[in-house]
């Protein structure tokens, strides 16, 4: 099966349904997030803002926590990360923060064999 958005091959069981489309983990995170990768202005303004604020200036507590876990583990799967973030953090919170961090080029998703790991950029 292929992702309806980016056309990459999705391993069986990894596909995500969203509004009738079949998406890979990556694109699914993007559609859940208000910041879209296809919007060059979002990336541009994030970079500009970061330059103004300094590299640590604009990350939220939750983002800092995510970066800490990824740094400590060298990369985890999404459900592991969610678990380590603890109670009260939803899948959508994670998707939003992860997407924001990705726009800052602090994190990315990496495919290792059949599994997708979230890791530092």
- By CB under 5 A, name the binding residues for Zn ion: 3, 5-6, 24, 27
Least Å from the CB of residue 43 to Zn ion: 18
Shortest Cβ distance from residue 4 to Zn ion (Å)? 8
The dihedral region occupied by 39, where left means phi > 0, alpha psi between -120 and 50, and beta the remainder, is beta
Q: Which is nearer to Zn ion, 24 or 66 (CB)?
A: 24
Q: What 3-state DSSP class applies to 112?
A: strand
Beta strands in 1-121 (DSSP E): 16-18, 21-23, 76-77, 107-112, 115-120
Residue 23 or residue 59: which is nearer to Zn ion going by CB? 23
Of the pair 16, 119, the CB lying nearest Zn ion is at 16
The Cα–Cα gap between 100 and 8 comes to 22
Report in angstroms how near the CB of residue 35 gets to Zn ion at its nearest: 16
Nearest-approach distance from CB 92 to Zn ion, in angstroms: 18
- Taking the C-alpha atoms of residue 12 and residue 54, their distance in angstroms, rounded to an integer, is 41
Residue closer to Zn ion, measured from CB, 6 or 53? 6
């Amino acid at each position: 099966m292929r992702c309806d958005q980016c056309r990459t091959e999705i391993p069986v069981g990894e596909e995500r349904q969203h509004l009738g489309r079949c998406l890979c983990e990556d694109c699914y995170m993007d559609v859940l997030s208000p910041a879209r990768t296809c919007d060059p202005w979002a990336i541009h303004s994030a970079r500009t803002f970061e330059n103004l604020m300094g590299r640590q200036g604009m990350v939220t507590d939750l983002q800092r926590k995510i970066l800490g876990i990824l740094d400590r583990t060298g990369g985890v799967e999404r459900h592991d990360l969610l678990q380590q973030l603890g109670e009260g953090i939803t899948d959508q919170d994670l998707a939003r923060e992860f997407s924001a961090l990705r726009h800052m080029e602090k994190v990315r998703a990496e495919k290792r064999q059949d599994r997708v790991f979230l890791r530092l950029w």
